Structure 1
Amino acid sequence: MTTDPTFGFEAATIHELAPADLVQEDRVAGRIYTDPDIFELEMANIFEKTWIWVAHESELPRAGSFKSTYVGRTPVIVTRDRKGNIHTLVNRCRHRGASLCEQRSGQANGFTCPYHAWSYGLDGQLRGIPYPEGYEGVMDKSQMSLKKLRTESYAGLIFATLDDDIEPLEDFLGDVRPWADRFLKQGGGYPIKVIGTHRFKFHGNWKIQLENTTDGYHFPIVHRSWMASVDAETADMLAFMTDPESTVQDLGNGHSVMHMVPEHMDLDADDGTEPLQPRFAPLVAELEAAGADEATIRRLVRSMHGTGSNLNLFPNVSLSSAFFRVLRPVSVDETVIEHIALGPDAPPEIAGPVIRERLRIHEHFQGPFGFGTPDDSEGWDRVQRGAQAAPEMPIMVNRGLKREVVAPEGWPTAHSTDETGMRAAYRMWKRMMSNA
């Protein structure tokens, strides 16, 4: 049995199509969520062939700071050495392959393998070997440093890649850069820093989450309980479903940006007429008591909810309103998500009350007991379960296709409830999987 060929993929051929043929302009085959062989190709053709976000520079504040994470399925340690240089090192001893670091983050002078005590510097250089006489004439110590990945950063956002021949990071980011610059203004005039992180898993394919951050259509439906839990001013701020100025734009290379609160797209563009939300009156009083001037207080309070935009960077990170959302594929139906809260890197008397309030906002929606993330996760799980059925039936990404226009900058643009951002990501997916 097959479906109507004008609507879906023929069941008789769905398992014979090349991966790139499973993505069309307005739909994708459910098989790309469920096929383990496609997942393996994604790891090889995407996560091992492009720039992967690994850290924010504030997570490496001083010499010896490190963070353990992954590039695709490769465990890595991101370090800052004594000269201030940042490195991404494969978390694997060169001797017998044991992992060197199991801590998520911390401070170290170097890394020593717990198996045979080979020791390495913060730059990955092999420093010491116990009982070295056994290696005389056998091994050149200078050739046994940790494998180091190409690492570049933009405005404090650190990326690494397994592909030494890839284009420069700034070329890959392209038109993302001005939007990233705007996102990074949410420190209220101060730099931003990571103030907290939590991780969780969902039982679904990584692309389901990639879609979610550029999906404005689901927000008032899935997040009704959150909308009912906040004050009227916050709810009105996010009532973007009928706002014609609320848009989503394809920025190229699979990246996109969705503007949910257009008046906060650039937090520096403030004419002084927008009233501060009454709920922040106690915070304003604390900042006044701390000696902050009126302009600083206004910038900090207007920044409490972030930038009002979700900036999706293909394939693994979103600069989402007020936090980083990072995804890590584990298997075809398992994905790790990391939510990273942000706050101002300001003097303690200023930063303290602001960070406390931003953490409460983060917990209220993104936290494990919040009103947002648990509802999202349920939706992601259901998509994975449903995708197992009728593999010839497509996943539709056609909303707004006929009302898409091209902005003066050349960006395909539609309403924020449309699926322009998903189509952008899948065009990149198709391009990278074309050689699979």
Structure 2
Amino acid sequence: MTTNIEITNISNTADLVKEDRIHKSLYSDPNIFEEELDKVFNNTWVWLAHESEVAEVGSYKTAKIGKQPVVVVRDRKKNIHVMLNRCRHRGATVCEGKKGKTKAFTCPYHGWGYGLDGSLRALPKPEEYENILDKAEFGLVKLRTESYQGMIFATLKDDMEPLEEFLGGAKKWIDLFMKQGGGYPVKAMGDHRFRFPGNWKIQLENTTDAYHFPIVHKSFISSVDEEAQEVFDFLDGDGYVEDLGNGHSVMVMIPELVDLDKNLDEPIPERYAELAKALFDEGHSDAEVRKLVRAVGGSGFNLNLFPNIACSMAFFRNLVPISATETEIHHIAIGGEGAPQAFNQKRMRLHEHFQGPMGFGTPDDGEAWERVQAGSIAGTDGWIMVNRGMSKLSTSEDGNVKGAVCSETGMRAAYQKYKTLMSK
């Protein structure tokens, strides 16, 4: 039986997370939000970019760790760096573009110039700093940066465990997700950014929540043919949610699409017949066409990587906390580097159909998130339930906690990691 308690009786934010519920104040309390920036985002690995977004020498992308601005850049030796976007002189940002290509970074305030590797190269009137400034000590602050399968992460915590150890059981699923290129390396093909008036954890929950799909996404389901409707009718299927450790989880909705290298001899779905013909006409072999067609719609699962990135069926979804009641979302379309144009075009059209600003999925999701935020401030006390499926858990083949596809296993996984970090 759930017992309500007054938040005034709780001295530690971590106590607002129970095994089966979280307190609604986690969605709106500005003091809790500031604590999260310090204890969560400043104390773990945070996803910032895919390597294809900074593919060439001098290419960069600006991003944030929590609310701290950073620059992701590839230097002349083709090494990738993540650096605080802050001049070492008076603190101005040295890069304001969302992404682009440059030969160096120059502070617009006093003209201090930095190389692609962050080193301080030049400054106006250097004679005024004679014997009082060593340029070698005043480069842009570099953060510890590691990558896995092209996914770039950085951390503000020097003694953080290695990235691969942090990812743990999620690595298997990242490997599977990266088969979406249809035999070609995965590449980012642009993003769609928007903000919604709600807490970042509402979005964190969403990509591990299959329960809402047939309700919130009725308009999307009605927009596709009967064959696709059957594919997306997965609540009573063999799908599942698995706790992968460290707050990560995977929600398998379409088991037959987990490994895109398997079942290549199955009939080509009618909805992809036109694409298959275009690929055959370009001279691709039967094996190549089948591999591309099977990959074009994405993987049959959502992979949540705590705290800020989801590999969601066919795209990356990155969340950026703005305030306790506002979150920015980046939907990043992905395709295959060097893949046939028809393949990448089809992936982009599918992305637009659901994730795009005029698509069927994102606007409906956004309204649901906004209404959760609005409702969470009603009353003086209350809990958000995350207990669905707790009585029917099992163990996966990898030894992890596993629940039905419509269970809240993934949410509980994320909140238990959150509780651990907020307890420190």
Assess same fold via TM > 0.5: yes
1:123-134 equivalent positions in 2, closer than 5 A: 123-134=117-128
Gaps of 5+ in 1: 1-5
Task: Say whether residues 1:27 and 2:21 are aligned partners.
Answer: yes
Mean Cα displacement is larger for which, 14-23 or 39-48? 14-23
Distance 2:8 2:167 in 1: 34
Task: Say whether residues 1:392 and 2:381 are aligned partners.
Answer: yes
* Residue number in structure 2 paired with 1:294: 286
* Residue number in structure 2 paired with 1:279: 271
Percent of residue pairs bearing the same amino acid type: 53
* Residue number in structure 1 paired with 2:244: 251
* Residue number in structure 2 paired with 1:3: none
Aligned match for 1:182, one of 176, 197, 211: 176
Gaps of 5+ in 2: none
Aligned match for 1:120, one of 106, 114, 119: 114
- Provide Cα deviations, 1:111-145, integer angstroms capped at 9, x if missing partner: 01111111000110000011111111221111110
* Residue number in structure 1 paired with 2:38: 44
Partner SS state of residue 303, structure 1: helix
CA contact 1:8–1:392 (8 Å) conserved in 2: no
Distance 1:425 1:14 in 2: 25
Task: Say whether residues 1:233 and 2:227 are aligned partners.
Answer: yes
Distance 1:428 1:313 in 2: 11
Aligned-residue offset at 1:288: 1.2
Mean Cα displacement is larger for which, 375-384 or 16-25? 16-25
Aligned-residue offset at 1:17: 3.6
Task: Say whether residues 1:380 and 2:380 are aligned partners.
Answer: no
Partner SS state of residue 66, structure 1: strand
* Residue number in structure 1 paired with 2:104: 110
* Residue number in structure 2 paired with 1:192: 186
* Residue number in structure 2 paired with 1:77: 71
For 1:10, give the aligned amino acid.
Answer: I
Aligned-residue offset at 1:354: 1.1
Pair 1:271–1:284, CA change in 2 (3 A): closer
Aligned match for 2:302, one of 290, 293, 310: 310
* Residue number in structure 1 paired with 2:259: 266
Partner SS state of residue 143, structure 2: strand
* Residue number in structure 2 paired with 1:333: 325
Mean Cα displacement is larger for which, 179-188 or 132-141? 132-141
Distance 1:391 1:430 in 2: 22
Partner SS state of residue 48, structure 1: helix
- Provide Cα deviations, 1:229-277, integer angstroms capped at 9, x if missing partner: 011111111111111x10000000000000011000011121512x222
Distance 2:9 2:310 in 1: 32
* Residue number in structure 2 paired with 1:421: 410
For 2:343, give the aligned amino acid.
Answer: V
- Provide Cα deviations, 1:93-127, integer angstroms capped at 9, x if missing partner: 11111111111111111101111111000110000
CA contact 2:264–2:291 (8 Å) conserved in 1: no
Aligned-residue offset at 1:391: 4.1
Pair 1:98–1:30, CA change in 2 (3 A): same
For 1:353, give the aligned amino acid.
Answer: A
* Residue number in structure 2 paired with 1:363: 352
Aligned-residue offset at 1:368: 0.7
Pair 1:117–1:293, CA change in 2 (3 A): same
Distance 2:220 2:114 in 1: 48
- Provide Cα deviations, 1:16-73, integer angstroms capped at 9, x if missing partner: 3411111111111001111111111100000000000011011111111111111111
Distance 2:352 2:8 in 1: 42
CA contact 2:88–2:140 (8 Å) conserved in 1: yes
* Residue number in structure 2 paired with 1:170: 164
Aligned-residue offset at 1:14: 4.2
CA contact 2:264–2:294 (8 Å) conserved in 1: no
Task: Say whether residues 1:322 and 2:314 are aligned partners.
Answer: yes
For 1:421, give the aligned amino acid.
Answer: G
CA contact 1:67–1:105 (8 Å) conserved in 2: yes
Instruction: Report the aligned-residue RMSD.
Output: 1.1
Distance 2:191 2:261 in 1: 27
CA contact 1:206–1:329 (8 Å) conserved in 2: yes
Aligned-residue offset at 1:279: 2.3
Aligned-residue offset at 1:9: 2.6
Partner SS state of residue 48, structure 2: strand
Pair 1:265–1:391, CA change in 2 (3 A): farther
* Residue number in structure 1 paired with 2:397: 408
Partner SS state of residue 127, structure 1: strand
Q: Work out the number of aligned pairs and report it.
A: 424
Partner SS state of residue 123, structure 1: coil
For 2:160, give the aligned amino acid.
Answer: I
CA contact 2:264–2:290 (8 Å) conserved in 1: no
